[in-house]
Amino acid sequence: MSAPGRSQAHMPARDRAKGSPVSRPGPPLWLLAELTYRCPLHCVFCYNPVDFATQSSELSTDEWLRVLREGRELGAVQCGFSGGEPLLRDDLETLVAEAHRLGYYTNLLTSGVGLTAERAAALEAAGLDHVQLSFQDSTREVNDFLSHTKTFELKSRVARLIKEQGWPMVMNVVIHRLNIDHIDRIIAMAAELGAEYLELANTQYYSWAYVNRAQLLPTHEQLRRAESLTDAWRARLEGRMKIFFVAPDYHEGRAKKCVNGWGSVFLNVAPDGTALPCHTAKMLPGLEFPNVREHSLRHAWYESEGFNRYRGTGWMKEPCSTCEHKERDLGGCRCQAYLLTQDAEAADPVCEKSPHHGLVVQAVATAERGAAEHPLVFRDPVSSRRLGACAQAELATQVDNETGAIATR
C-alpha cells in the first residue's frame, strides 16, 4: 500500500506529465452498492446503463460483504443500497445488518416494490437507518405510465409502512416535462404521506433520460413556475418538510460539479463488481475500471487509472484549464460531455463557455417549440439489447439534435 500523497500513480496522467502536484484524494465518504440492475419498473429516465440487459452478472452475498468491509476500512460513512430494485435481492437484510454492524449510516433507495410489512420489519431489525422512496408523479395515470407498471397504490402503501417503522422518509421524484406541471400536487402528496424530505430532482440527461431527452426536457416557463411554487410550499411547510429542488443544468448555462467531483467522495460499485466514480462512467472510452472480484476497493479508489483520470483539474483543456470557475465545477459532467461531443475531456456543453454549448441551446429551443412526437423508449431488456448493440458514441450521434428522435435499427 502506498503512503498518502506519495505515489505518482495517484496523479492524473496529464498532471504527471506537467509535474504539477495533486494531493492524495480524501476517502470515499459515500459508498453506493448497486446490488442489481433487475427492476420491475421500466422508467423512461432510469440512470442505469442503457445496455444493462447485457450485464447480468451480480456479486454474491460474500462478495458484497467484503465490499462493505473494505469500504468502511477506507473511511466510507454512508452506504446506500440501490439498483435496479435492491429488494429483488433476498440477501438485502444480511447486507444491511453487516453495514449497520460496521458503523455505516444505511440508506435504501427503492421503488417500494417488494417492501412488504415483513421485510420492512426485518430491515428495521437489521438496522436500516432510512428509506428513499421514489414516486413518478402525484397521479396514478402518470406514475403508472412513466414506470410502465401499476405501482401508484403500492407506493402509497409503502410510504405508510415506512412511517410505521419510524424511519425518516425521503421521497424522490424525478422531474421533467411530463410531470413538472403537477409539482403543486406532488408536494402536497409528499406532505400528506408524511415525508420529512422531498427531493425534486430535475432529470439529468444521460442513460435512458438521454435517449428520451426530447420528450422529457421542460420549457423555461415550466421551470420558472415550478420553482416559484416550490418556494411557496417551502415557506408553508417550514419545520415540517425540507424540499430540495435540484435545478436542471441544461437551462442554467453553468456546469455542475458532478458527483461532487470525480473520485472525490462517491464510490459506486455496479452489480457485477465494477468500481466506478459515477453510475455511468463505464461507457467512457479508453478507461479501465477495476472489478472488486480482482482488486481491493483501496486499489480502485487510490491507484486505478479509471478513478484518477478526471480527478482534480490537471486533465482539463481549454476553455476549462484557464477558467476562473474550474475549481467550482471541475469541468462539469464527464459522461454528459462525452454523450454530447464524443469527447470525454471536453468542457461540459451545458456551460456557456463550451464551444459545443450550441448543442444544449438547440435542445432547449426544440423543447420550447413543443414535445417530440416520436414514442418514449421504456427501460426494458428488449430496448436495452437494441441500444446496447451500438457503441455509446454511435448512440450519441443517433439522437437527432433537431428532433430528439433516436434512429432505430
Which residues of the chain form contacts with ligand FES (CB under 6 A)? 206, 258-259, 278, 280-281, 333-335
Indicate the residue among 67 and 340 with the shorter CB distance to ligand FES. Answer: 340
Q: Report, in Å, the least distance between residue 52 CB and ligand FES.
A: 15
Indicate the residue among 87 and 259 with the shorter CB distance to ligand FES. Answer: 259
- Which residues have CB under 8 Å from 5's CB, separation 6+? 23, 24
Indicate the residue among 65 and 283 with the shorter CB distance to ligand FES. Answer: 283
Indicate the residue among 112 and 261 with the shorter CB distance to ligand FES. Answer: 261
Q: Report, in Å, the least distance between residue 335 CB and ligand FES.
A: 3
Q: Report, in Å, the least distance between residue 263 CB and ligand FES.
A: 10
Indicate the residue among 100 and 311 with the shorter CB distance to ligand FES. Answer: 311
Q: Report, in Å, the least distance between residue 219 CB and ligand FES.
A: 24
* Residue type for position 127: G
Ramachandran sector of residue 207 (left: φ over 0; alpha: ψ -120 to 50; beta: rest): left
Indicate the residue among 172 and 280 with the shorter CB distance to ligand FES. Answer: 280
Reading the block at residue 370, the C-alpha cell is 413543443
Q: Cell 438496522 sits at which residue? A: 127
Q: Report, in Å, the least distance between residue 81 CB and ligand FES.
A: 20
Indicate the residue among 133 and 333 with the shorter CB distance to ligand FES. Answer: 333
Q: Determine the Cα–Cα distance for residues 360 and 339; give it in Å rounded to an integer.
A: 12
Query: In what helix (H) or strand (E) does residue 19 lie, and over which residues does it extend?
Result: none
Q: Report, in Å, the least distance between residue 371 CB and ligand FES.
A: 25
Indicate the residue among 2 and 260 with the shorter CB distance to ligand FES. Answer: 260
Q: Determine the Cα–Cα distance for residues 348 and 346; give it in Å rounded to an integer.
A: 6
DSSP code per residue over 96-132: HHHHHHHT-EEEEEE-STT--HHHHHHHHHHT--EEE
Q: Report, in Å, the least distance between residue 202 CB and ligand FES.
A: 14
Instruction: Write out 233-300 in H/E/C secondary structure.
Output: HHHHCCCCCEEEEECCHHHCCCCCCHHHCCCCCEEEECCCCEEECCCCHHHCCCCCCCECCCCCHHHH
Q: Report, in Å, the least distance between residue 10 CB and ligand FES.
A: 19
Nearest to 156 by CA among 180, 130, 128, 192: 192
Pairing, β 78-82 against β 266-269: unpaired
